[in-house]
Amino acid sequence: MLTKNNIKNINSLSKKKYRDEFRQFIAEGDKIVKELLESNYNIISLYATNEWIEANEKLISPDCTTVIIKQNQLKSISQLTTPNQVLAIVEIKINKTLPDPCEDFILLADRIQDPGNLGSIIRSADWFGFKDIVCSEDCVDLYNPKVIQASMGSFCRLNVNYTDIHAYLSEYKDKAVVYGAFTEGQNVFKCNFRKSGILVIGNESQGISSLTENYITKKVFIPKYNESESFTPDSLNASVAAALLMGVIRMGMVNS
Amino acid sequence: MLTKNNIKNINSLSKKKYRDEFRQFIAEGDKIVKELLESNYNIISLYATNEWIEANEKLISPDCTTVIIKQNQLKSISQLTTPNQVLAIVEIKINKTLPDPCEDFILLADRIQDPGNLGSIIRSADWFGFKDIVCSEDCVDLYNPKVIQASMGSFCRLNVNYTDIHAYLSEYKDKAVVYGAFTEGQNVFKCNFRKSGILVIGNESQGISSLTENYITKKVFIPKYNESESFTPDSLNASVAAALLMGVIRMGMVNS
């Protein structure tokens, strides 16, 4: 049964304060919850329709509390405009080991604010085989419901760390190439990327901060098609730019 | 002065029904409104802070009704969570001429539903010099405030048409190459794109419809990096895939 207390507790997890306090987050919808059930995340409870539970019985651990609810009851706990069969309460994982950019390519997010952008970046990173994302401490929270939703389950397969990025960059700046997405530097389509390094993506409106810029070894840009025209956009969307750079980094390696 | 009637009329424009009835839409924020003032859109009225109007006086046409309001009054008419200095009521333009895909590359959107995605696609199209977007009649409305916002002013520079895409494709399928974004076909990084043609992007969850697929001359895909791993994402975000394909189409041409 879905109690008033359940509803209150679940909805509180839309706020970072309560996610931090309870070390829990919300994930919703058939696709994302199925991916979670197959991952090493610990699912504390599931609120789902009878049909969904019957169809997915084999995936559900006996330790997990299962609450059968009606589709219209989902509305009272869902963070989505169109609730979709199932909502999971999941234990937050704490990552302590920062990735080594001498071994593989790492994406570093400098103050990404929009949850849809971070989620989309995680989804694209998964597609292009980036296993680690390092976020500045003032990036939007990974466990924000909108980040989880936009990542479409890809957050289950990636390590996302929040850290003091300047300390991290300082440790690796002489060992790994630190590429930064700017509107100047080298044309990304003509750049020979190495097999490992750090790719830095900056804030949606301000780009890479001047402090972070000190650690960039190589500035790269995504060329506009008609640079000469009087009016052109200032920038691409941050998640679009990140995906394009990750794609070119990986495909350059495949072709070489 | 901002009357109750003003507030009611402005907020009604968040709905397509009223935008169609009044042939008006809302655009907000310093950057987007400035781009509109420089464009050939007809701005009917501006609701702005005194500081904004003083700073932008030279851009404002004498035909435009200007209403000075306080920053906190903006909240009552704004569609944004953080209102930003100015809101414009703009006349909808009607595009009647469909673009010729034998002359330039056209992006065709088949049932794109998310306003953030359509806005981001328009912004990326502008960056990569795609001047024309053809949308299926069931795509999200160009003048949805979230589309306008996500396009970051780029909608001012592009022609976006809504039409029966199957009639359009039928007219051009023997004259132009129709590329479609799938998860199979030719690796986009190894594809020699022509200078003109049609690039079709499908719906967020269902991709390109089977009816539209009949008109595709060449299927292309964005390769995953680790195809062999057991769990990989099903797809990229539609606006990310569109941007990556447009970028590769244009950059292939620049390099050749």
Task: Note whether B225 contacts A128, CB cutoff 8 Å.
Answer: yes
- Burial readout A203-225 (b: 16 or more C-beta within 10 A, e: otherwise): beeebbbeebeebbeebbbbbbb
Task: Note whether A189 contacts B254, CB cutoff 8 Å.
Answer: yes
Residues A131, A245, single domain; the answer is yes
Task: Note whether A38 contacts B231, CB cutoff 8 Å.
Answer: yes
Task: Note whether A239 contacts B234, CB cutoff 8 Å.
Answer: no
Write down the pLDDT at residue B231.
Answer: 65
Distances (CA, A) of A45 to A48, A65, B190: 10, 4, 46
Residues A57, A131, single domain; the answer is no
Write down the pLDDT at residue B34.
Answer: 95
Q: What CATH number is associated with residue B176? A: 3.40.1280.10
Please tell me the distance from the alpha carbon of residue B130 to that of residue B154, in angstroms, as a whole number. 11
| CB-based contact, B211 to chain A, within 8 Å | no
- The structural domain count of chain A equals 2
Residue among A181, A180, A179 nearest A223 (CA): A181
Residues A74, A147, single domain; the answer is no
The vertex-A143 CA angle with A156 and A102, nearest 5°, equals 55
Return mean pLDDT, chain A: 93
Residues A9, A77, single domain; the answer is yes
Task: Note whether B222 contacts A127, CB cutoff 8 Å.
Answer: yes
pLDDT above 90 covers a percentage of chain A that reads: 84
Residues B83, B110, single domain; the answer is no
Task: Note whether B232 contacts A127, CB cutoff 8 Å.
Answer: yes
Write down the pLDDT at residue B254.
Answer: 47
The CA distance from A129 to the nearest CA of chain B, in Å, is 5
CB pairs under 8 A between A and B: 98
- State which residue of chain A sits closest to B251, comparing Cα positions: A189
* Chain A hits for B126, Cβ within 8 Å: 232-233
Residues B152, B215, single domain; the answer is yes
Partner residue facing A123 (CB), from B156, B223, B236: B236
Residue A175 CB coordination number (10 Å)? 12
| CB-based contact, B125 to chain A, within 8 Å | no
ipTM: 0.91
Residues B86, B163, single domain; the answer is no
Please tell me the distance from the alpha carbon of residue A245 to that of residue B4, in angstroms, as a whole number. 48
A25-67 pLDDT, tens digit each: 999 999 999 999 999 999 999 999 999 999 999 999 988 999 9
Please tell me the distance from the alpha carbon of residue B153 to that of residue B39, in angstroms, as a whole number. 10
Write down the pLDDT at residue B252.
Answer: 64
Half-sphere exposure of B187 (CA within 13 A, CB side): 12
Residues B73, B49, single domain; the answer is yes
Mean pLDDT is lowest, of A116-130, A156-170, B91-105, B215-229, for B215-229
Write down the pLDDT at residue A254.
Answer: 47
Q: What is the largest CA-CA distance in chain A?
A: 63
Write down the pLDDT at residue A2.
Answer: 87
Q: Which tokens belong to B75?
A: 């909240």
SS3 letters across B54-87: HHHHHHCCCCCEEEECCHHHHCCCCCCCCCCCEE
Which residues span the domain enclosing A132?
Answer: 105-255
**pLDDT higher than threshold 90 for residue A1:** no
* Chain B hits for A126, Cβ within 8 Å: 232-233
Task: Note whether A120 contacts B243, CB cutoff 8 Å.
Answer: no
Partner residue facing B126 (CB), from A152, A232, A243: A232
Q: Which tokens belong to A64?
A: 């997990």
Residues A138, A185, single domain; the answer is yes
Task: Note whether A240 contacts B124, CB cutoff 8 Å.
Answer: yes
Cα A119 → chain centroid = 4
Residue among B189, B220, B226, B223 nearest B202 (CA): B220
| CB-based contact, A99 to chain B, within 8 Å | no
Please tell me the distance from the alpha carbon of residue B55 to that of residue A188, in angstroms, as a whole number. 37
Q: Is A54 exposed, middle or buried (0-12, 13-18, 19+ CB in 10 A)?
A: exposed
Q: What is the mean pLDDT of residues A79-96?
A: 91
CA-only gyration radius of chain B, Å: 20
- Burial readout B190-199 (b: 16 or more C-beta within 10 A, e: otherwise): ebebeeebbb
Partner residue facing B224 (CB), from A127, A150, A232: A127
Residue B156 belongs to some domain of the structure = yes
Task: Note whether B189 contacts A255, CB cutoff 8 Å.
Answer: yes
Residues A86, A127, single domain; the answer is no
Domain boundary among A33, A68, A91: A91
Residues 6 or more apart whose CB falls under 8 angstroms from that of B200 comprise: B108, B110, B178, B179, B180, B181, B208, B212, B215, B216
The single residue listed with the structure tokens 């802070």 is B49
Residues A63, A86, single domain; the answer is yes
Write down the pLDDT at residue B181.
Answer: 96
Write down the pLDDT at residue B256.
Answer: 38
**pLDDT higher than threshold 60 for residue A253:** no
Write down the pLDDT at residue B110.
Answer: 98
Q: What CATH number is associated with residue A32? A: 3.30.1330.30
Residue B98 belongs to some domain of the structure = no
Between A107 and B253, the more confident residue is A107
- State which residue of chain A sits closest to B152, comparing Cα positions: A233
Task: Note whether B223 contacts A251, CB cutoff 8 Å.
Answer: yes
pLDDT band at A229 (very low <50, low <70, confident <90, very high): low
Partner residue facing B233 (CB), from A127, A239, A255: A127
Please tell me the distance from the alpha carbon of residue A32 to that of residue A74, in angstroms, as a whole number. 16
Residues A75, A156, single domain; the answer is no
Write down the pLDDT at residue B230.
Answer: 62
Residue B96 belongs to some domain of the structure = no
| CB-based contact, B120 to chain A, within 8 Å | yes
Instruction: Name A86's bridge partners.
Output: A48
The single residue listed with the structure tokens 């781009």 is B35
Residue B190 belongs to some domain of the structure = yes
The CA distance from B154 to the nearest CA of chain A, in Å, is 6
**pLDDT higher than threshold 90 for residue A211:** yes
Residue B99 belongs to some domain of the structure = no
Between A232 and B199, the more confident residue is B199
Domain boundary among B31, B65, B91: B91
Write down the pLDDT at residue A158.
Answer: 93
B12-66 pLDDT, tens digit each: 999 999 999 999 999 999 999 999 999 999 999 999 999 999 999 999 998 899 9
**pLDDT higher than threshold 50 for residue A239:** yes
Domain boundary among A59, A91, A123: A91
Return mean pLDDT, chain B: 93
Partner residue facing A236 (CB), from B124, B223, B236: B124
Task: Note whether B244 contacts A239, CB cutoff 8 Å.
Answer: no
Write down the pLDDT at residue A233.
Answer: 78
* Chain B hits for A228, Cβ within 8 Å: none
| CB-based contact, A237 to chain B, within 8 Å | yes
